[in-house]
Amino acid sequence: MCGIAGLYTKLPALEAQLGAHLSRMLEQLSFRGPDSAGVAFYRDSAPEGWCKVSLYSAATNPDWDELAAELALAFGEVSLPHVRATHAVFVIDSDAERAQAWLSENHPELRLMSAGSSIEIYKQAGPPRDFIERFELEQMGGSHALGHTRMATESRVTTQHSHPFWTGLDLCLVHNGSLSNHNRLRRVLQREGIRFQTDNDSEVAAGYLTWRMREGATLEEALEGCMDDLDGFYTFAVGTADGFAVLRDPIACKPAVMAETDEWVAIASEYRAIAVLPGAEDAVLWEPEPGRVYSWGTAPVA
């Protein structure tokens, strides 16, 4: 069991409250996933030609200012580090591929949580409430966000094993369920050059989406491919620069509820996480059908 929450704002006025609302949703899903929690926020797009990276350090007192100085030397311009607990976000005058390559060569001790233009990923092992407080989630704004509470079944409880998993520029995946062919599929994907940080099954699903889209598939095609190539149970929510997409496996053992008002669109594992949103009592509610891709926002979902 795990909990999934996603919220997409239709009104700019709601953007400042995104973190407050997502926090309340995650609290409602804490009992579905007490082991760890994580979020992906889409906000403050980097300027054209720049990229934004989220980094995690396991060190006690990481010197983010020193890293900013190194990045400035390597790339010319870089933002001040935006530090949240164990994570820091940098906006760099570089494309994401070059920044990523430089980071993995010069700072292999740091974990790249996400890269893109607007995505920021934060996650932490431990109770969701601690995560919400330590990362000051309630103060975060943004256009849309996905969150996850994890009850581990397939692999260890660590920050790296937590969701969301970054799957490509401005893309991430959260998963409720379990995959049974992940070891075999991971080896196949590794031969295709996809790299993994953990032995987690959901990370393999994220790697699968990355690989399919690298090979030219749209997000929708990549998600439809999951139904042929992944063996197991899943409700997936995928964050994109413009919105999010949702897929449940055809057997649909794992729950999902979607809701829409004039002000927002939400997905959650259970209605109780939607009930805390403003105007929920008047929302249009439905259960996404098994084996069908749903999406909000425009590109890249066809």
Partner 1 sequence: MAAPDVTRDAIESFDLAADTVRELNRRLHDPAGPQRVRVLNPGGRHSIAVGLDGPREIEIEGHVGYYCAGMNKHATIRVRGNCGVGVAENMMSGAVIVEGSASQSAGATARGGLLVIHGDASARCGISLKGADIVVRGSVGHMSGFMAQKGAVVVCEDAGEALGDSLYEARLYVRRSVASLGADCVEKEMRAEHFEEVSALLARAEIDDADAADFRRFGSARNLYHFQVEHLGSY
- Which one of 104, 106, 287, 298 is in contact with partner 1 (CB under 8 A)? 287
At residue 127, φ and ψ (nearest 5 deg) are -60, 140
Strand order in the sheet with 82-84: 82-84, 87-92, 51-56, 111-116
Choice between 110 and 283, CB closer to partner 1: 283
Residue-by-residue DSSP string for 228-257: HH--EEEEEEEE-SS-EEEEE-TT--S--E
Q: In the complex, what is the shortest distance from the CB of residue 24 to partner 1, in angstroms, rounded to a whole number?
A: 12
Structure tokens at 224: 């439809």
- Asked, as a colleague might, if the bond just before 290 is cis with ω within 30 of 0, I would say no
Which of 2, 51, 172, 226 does the annotation list as catalytic? 2
**Kind plus residue range of the DSSP H or E element containing 204:** helix 201-214
Residue 299 makes contact with partner 1 by CB under 8 A: no
Q: Reply yes or no on whether 2 is catalytic.
A: yes
User: How many chain residues are in contact with partner 1, going by CB under 8 A?
Assistant: 16
Structure tokens at 59: 């060190």
Tell me which residues in 223-262 interact with partner 1 (CB under 8 A): 252, 255, 257
- Which one of 132, 189, 223, 273 is in contact with partner 1 (CB under 8 A)? 273
- Which one of 102, 196, 233, 271 is in contact with partner 1 (CB under 8 A)? 271
Q: Rounded distance, CA 211 to CA 173, Å? A: 14
Q: Rounded distance, CA 65 to CA 88, Å? A: 10
Choice between 286 and 298, CB closer to partner 1: 286
Q: In the complex, what is the shortest distance from the CB of residue 39 to partner 1, in angstroms, rounded to a whole number?
A: 21
Q: Which residues are catalytic?
A: 2
- Return residues touching partner 1 (CB under 8 A): 252, 255, 257, 270-276, 281, 285-287, 289-290
